[in-house]
Amino acid sequence: MLAPPAPPEAATRVGAPATATRPEPQRLAETVQGRVAVVTGGATGLGRSTALEFAQRGVAVAINYVDLPDRDVAAQALLTETALRAHGVPVYCARCDVRHRDEVEKFVTAVRERLGGVHYLVNNAGVTHDGALWRLTPEAWQEVLDTNVTGAFNCIQAVAGPMRAQRYGKIVNVASHQAFRPGFGIANYAASKAGLVGLTKSAAVDLGPSNINVNAVAPGFVKTELLGKLPREVLERAEHESVLGRVAEPEDVARVITFLCSEAARHITGQVIVVDGGLTLAS
């Protein structure tokens, strides 16, 4: 004869103090104490917003920038630095041109010395230099490719050593919906952002075994000064064509970037997250 089944576990606990079986409360907040983020082109626009998102979460932040024609980026860098410090996190801000490998290496070395490491890299620095394909000068082509692709490559290479050594890192590249659906007169920009998507996937393959995630975001139009260069009707059309009926605020994209750097996204790598309000669905 089979032995009678053992009493259910709960029965053995009858009379035990209620606290004995209560599960530990789940800890939802991940530890970001001591973590350091580098946001290139972090003085303005989307980079600024991303840097602030990190700072709000207690992450130390380093930003770099270059001056741009007709814009006082240095003054904006100072304002951004002050806004970041107001969150009580360590901050490092310096002029550094991502096109120049030696400047990037010096910058990353300074970040590690001053902030104690590097855990997140957001390749946000980017430029446009639009013109009909038959009128694009070699300089306009080169400047955009050098900044948007080679600049990101220089930064990835500079952080790859320390990230591989610590077997931890998150890299997010800021591409664009124009990589997939270019408008008129942006052959250089579209090629650069498509190149950045290829770099994202390739870096994900090379760095994945070292526990480093590499992803990209592809924003639609975002309300920054860069957008101010576009004709008003292009913006109105973008608002109209987006299925959500709006153009993104910088925070709409910045929060996706910080999500990709979080442990909630630890199994996502080599992907491009389109953040365009459905713009690319609509045509």
Ligand X SMILES: NC(=O)c1ccc[n+]([C@@H]2O[C@H](COP(=O)([O-])OP(=O)(O)OC[C@H]3O[C@@H](n4cnc5c(N)ncnc54)[C@H](O)[C@@H]3O)[C@@H](O)[C@H]2O)c1
**Which residues are tagged catalytic?**
189
Helix, strand, coil: what percent of the chain each, to 5?
50, 15, 35
* DSSP helix/strand/coil, 211: coil
Alpha-carbon span 55 to 93, nearest angstrom: 13
Cβ nearer to ligand X, comparing 32 with 93: 93
Which residues here bind ligand X, judged by CB under 6 A? 40-41, 43-47, 64-66, 68, 73, 97-99, 124-127, 147, 151, 174, 176, 219, 221-222, 224-227
Q: Identify the bridge partners of residue 274 per DSSP, sorted by sequence position.
A: 218
Shortest distance in whole angstroms from residue 114 CB to ligand X? 18
Cβ nearer to ligand X, comparing 32 with 98: 98
* DSSP helix/strand/coil, 269: coil
* DSSP helix/strand/coil, 132: coil
Task: Spell out the residues 6+ positions from residue 62 whose beta carbon is closer than 8 angstroms to its own.
Answer: 36, 37, 38, 39, 42, 91, 92, 93, 94, 107, 111, 114, 115, 118
Shortest distance in whole angstroms from residue 161 CB to ligand X? 20
Shortest distance in whole angstroms from residue 253 CB to ligand X? 8
Cβ nearer to ligand X, comparing 40 with 213: 40
| HEC string for 99-125 | CCHHHHHHHHHHHHHHHCCCCEEEECC
Cβ nearer to ligand X, comparing 110 with 168: 110
Alpha-carbon span 96 to 101, nearest angstrom: 10
Q: Identify the bridge partners of residue 95 per DSSP, sorted by sequence position.
A: 65
Cβ nearer to ligand X, comparing 47 with 195: 47
44 touches 225 (CB < 8 A) = yes
Shortest distance in whole angstroms from residue 275 CB to ligand X? 9
Shortest distance in whole angstroms from residue 67 CB to ligand X? 7
